[in-house]
C-alpha cells in the first residue's frame, strides 16, 4: 500500500501559532501529541487516538534538554526524522512541529516551572529537575500549538499527573484550556513496554527485560485476588524482579493512582498504581499498571 508521506514540518513557534489560527478559523479542532521523536507503535497509538477525535493532529518532536539530567542520555538519545515522518503519516497525523532550541528556550535552556508535590517523588526523586523540564517544555509546546486536546501515554503515568496539574494551575488560558487524554501502554508480544530507549538494550538485556511486565502482572493478579496490603503487593513484584540478578531496581511501589501517595492498606474502589523503575545494563526502564481494587 502506498502511503502519502508528504507531512509538512513547521520549526518556528510563531509560524505554528499562525497555522493553528488558520485551521481553527476554518472550524477545525486541534489534537496534539507531544513526543521526543524516534517514534514507535506507542506514539502511533496516540496519533491514531487523536486523529479519531480531531481533523487536525499536530505531532511535536523535540528532544528536550531540560528534562535530562547532566549524566543522562541527551546526546545519544535516538533520532530519525525521516522514519518519524512516515510514522506520523501512517498513523493519520497532519503536521509535525519540530521547534528549534531557540524557539523553545529563547533565553537559553532552563526550566522555571515546578509543579510541587507530584514532581518530587518516584521519578522526580531519582531524576531531580526532570519534571521541571517536562512541565516547562509542555507548557511552551501548548502555547505554540494551542491544542483542544493533548494525548499522552500511561507508560509515563507520573508525567501525566504532572501535566494535569500544570494545566490546572497555569495562568495561561492557552494551557489551562487543554484537555488531557491518556492512552494505554503499547507493548511488545512478551509484555515489554515499547520505548524509544529499547534500542539501547543488548540482546541479553532484551531477554531479561520482560521480567518487569511479569512483576506487574503478578502484582495485578494478587490485587485482583483480594490482597490489600501495600507491603505484600510490593513483595510480589520484588520477588519476581529478583529472578533476574543483573536487574537493579530503583523503585517498585504500590500507591494510590491519582496522587501517588503511599497507603498501607487499600480499600474497595481504590485505584492502585504499581510502578517499577529498574536498570538493565546501561538502560533505565520504567513501567506501570493501574488496577482497581474491587471486593
Grid coordinates standing for 109? 535552556
Query: Would you give the DSSP letter of residue 76?
Result: T
Judged by CB under 6 A, the stretch of 3-11, 84-92, 183-191, 233-241 that binds ligand AMP is 183-191
For the CB of residue 25, give the shortest distance to ligand AMP in the complex, in Å. 29
> Which DSSP helix (H) or strand (E) runs through 59?
strand 56-61
For the CB of residue 185, give the shortest distance to ligand AMP in the complex, in Å. 4
For the CB of residue 29, give the shortest distance to ligand AMP in the complex, in Å. 20
Q: Is 43 known to be catalytic?
A: yes
Q: Using the rule CB under 6 A, is 186 a contact of ligand AMP?
A: yes
**Region for residue 245 given its phi and psi (left: phi exceeds 0; alpha: psi -120 to 50; beta: otherwise):** alpha
Q: Which residues have C-beta within 8 Å of that of residue 285, sequence separation ≥ 6?
A: 193, 195, 197, 209, 212, 276, 277, 278, 279
Q: Using the rule CB under 6 A, is 152 a contact of ligand AMP?
A: yes
List 60, 94, 170, 196, residue binding ligand AMP (CB under 6 A): 196
Q: Using the rule CB under 6 A, is 178 a contact of ligand AMP?
A: no
List 84, 103, 156, 234, residue binding ligand AMP (CB under 6 A): 156
**Closer to ligand AMP at the Cβ: 42 or 133?**
42
List 185, 222, 240, 283, residue binding ligand AMP (CB under 6 A): 185
Query: Would you give the DSSP letter of residue 7?
Result: -
Q: Which residue among the candidates 18, 40, 43, 54 is catalytic per the annotation? A: 43
For the CB of residue 36, give the shortest distance to ligand AMP in the complex, in Å. 4
Query: Checking DSSP bridges between strand 283-292 and strand 271-280, what pairing results, if any?
Result: antiparallel
Q: Using the rule CB under 6 A, is 155 a contact of ligand AMP?
A: yes
Q: Using the rule CB under 6 A, is 194 a contact of ligand AMP?
A: yes
DSSP 87-117: HHHHHT--EEE---HHHH-TT-S------TT
Task: State which of positions 3-62 bind ligand AMP (CB under 6 A).
Answer: 35-36, 42-43, 45-46
Q: Which of 139, 124, 201 is nearest to 170 (CA)?
A: 139
Q: 256 and 270 in contact (C-beta within 8 Å)?
A: yes
Q: How many whole angstroms separate alpha carbon 7 and alpha carbon 21?
A: 19
Size of the site for ligand AMP (CB under 6 A): 17
Q: How many whole angstroms separate alpha carbon 266 and alpha carbon 74?
A: 38
For the CB of residue 183, give the shortest distance to ligand AMP in the complex, in Å. 6
Q: Say how many C-beta atoms besides its own lie within 10 A of residue 243's C-beta.
A: 11
**Closer to ligand AMP at the Cβ: 194 or 235?**
194
Catalytic residues: 43
- Interface ranges with ligand AMP (CB under 6 A): 35-36, 42-43, 45-46, 152-153, 155-156, 183, 185-186, 193-196
Amino acid at each position: 500500500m502506498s502511503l502519502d508521506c508528504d507531512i509538512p514540518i513547521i520549526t518556528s513557534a510563531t509560524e505554528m501559532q499562525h497555522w493553528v489560527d488558520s485551521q481553527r478559523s476554518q472550524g477545525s479542532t486541534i489534537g496534539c501529541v507531544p513526543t521526543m521523536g524516534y517514534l514507535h507503535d506507542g506514539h502511533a497509538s496516540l496519533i491514531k487516538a487523536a486523529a479519531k477525535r480531531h481533523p487536525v493532529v499536530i505531532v511535536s518532536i523535540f528532544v528536550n534538554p531540560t528534562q535530562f539530567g547532566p549524566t543522562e542520555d541527551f546526546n545519544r538519545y535516538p533520532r530519525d526524522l525521516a522514519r518519524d515522518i512516515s510514522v506520523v503519516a501512517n498513523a493519520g497525523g497532519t503536521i509535525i512541529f519540530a521547534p528549534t532550541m531557540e524557539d523553545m528556550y529563547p533565553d537559553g535552556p532552563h526550566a522555571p516551572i515546578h509543579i510541587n508535590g507530584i514532581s518530587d517523588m518516584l521519578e522526580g526523586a531519582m531524576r531531580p529537575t526532570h519534571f521541571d523540564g517536562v512541565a516547562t517544555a509542555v507548557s511552551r509546546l501548548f502555547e505554540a500549538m494551542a491544542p483542544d486536546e493533548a494525548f499522552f501515554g500511561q507508560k509515563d503515568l507520573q508525567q501525566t499527573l504532572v501535566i494535569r496539574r500544570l494545566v490546572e494551575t497555569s495562568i495561561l488560558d492557552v494551557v489551562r484550556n487543554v484537555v488531557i487524554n491518556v492512552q494505554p501502554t503499547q507493548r511488545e508480544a512478551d509484555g515489554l513496554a515499547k520505548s524509544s530507549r529499547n534500542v539501547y538494550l543488548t540482546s541479553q538485556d532484551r531477554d531479561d527485560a520482560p521480567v518487569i511486565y511479569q512483576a506487574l502482572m503478578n502484582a495485578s493478579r494478587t490485587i485482583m485476588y483480594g490482597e490489600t496490603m501495600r507491603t505484600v503487593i510490593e513483595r510480589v513484584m520484588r520477588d519476581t524482579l529478583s529472578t533476574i540478578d543483573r536487574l537493579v531496581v530503583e523503585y517498585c511501589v504500590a500507591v494510590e493512582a491519582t496522587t501517588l501517595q503511599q497507603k498501607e492498606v487499600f480499600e474497595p474502589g481504590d485505584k492502585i498504581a504499581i510502578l517499577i523503575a529498574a536498570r538493565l545494563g546501561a538502560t533505565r526502564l520504567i513501567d506501570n499498571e493501574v488496577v482497581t481494587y474491587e471486593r
